[in-house]
């Protein structure tokens, strides 16, 4: 559980910026797919 949460926050923070609110959902989706794999 901790690893999944950390990976999600890491992906979102590294790839998402405050200006990329529209892309945020896409980034979170990509991170979730990686975690599932």
DSSP class of residue 22 equals H
Task: Please name which of 19, 10, 37 lies closest in space to residue 28, comparing C-alpha atoms.
Answer: 10
- Global pTM? 0.19
Q: What pLDDT shows up at residue 1?
A: 45
Task: Please name which of 17, 18, 15, 19 lies closest in space to residue 31, comparing C-alpha atoms.
Answer: 15
Encode pLDDT of 1-37 as tens digits: 445 555 555 555 555 566 665 655 665 666 656 555 4
Q: How many domains are contained in the chain?
A: 1
Q: Which domain holds residue 18?
A: 2-36
């Amino acid at each position: 559980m901790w690893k999944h949460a950390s990976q999600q926050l890491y992906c979102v923070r590294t790839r998402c910026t405050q200006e990329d609110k529209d892309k945020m959902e896409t980034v979170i989706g990509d991170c979730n797919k990686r975690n599932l794999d």
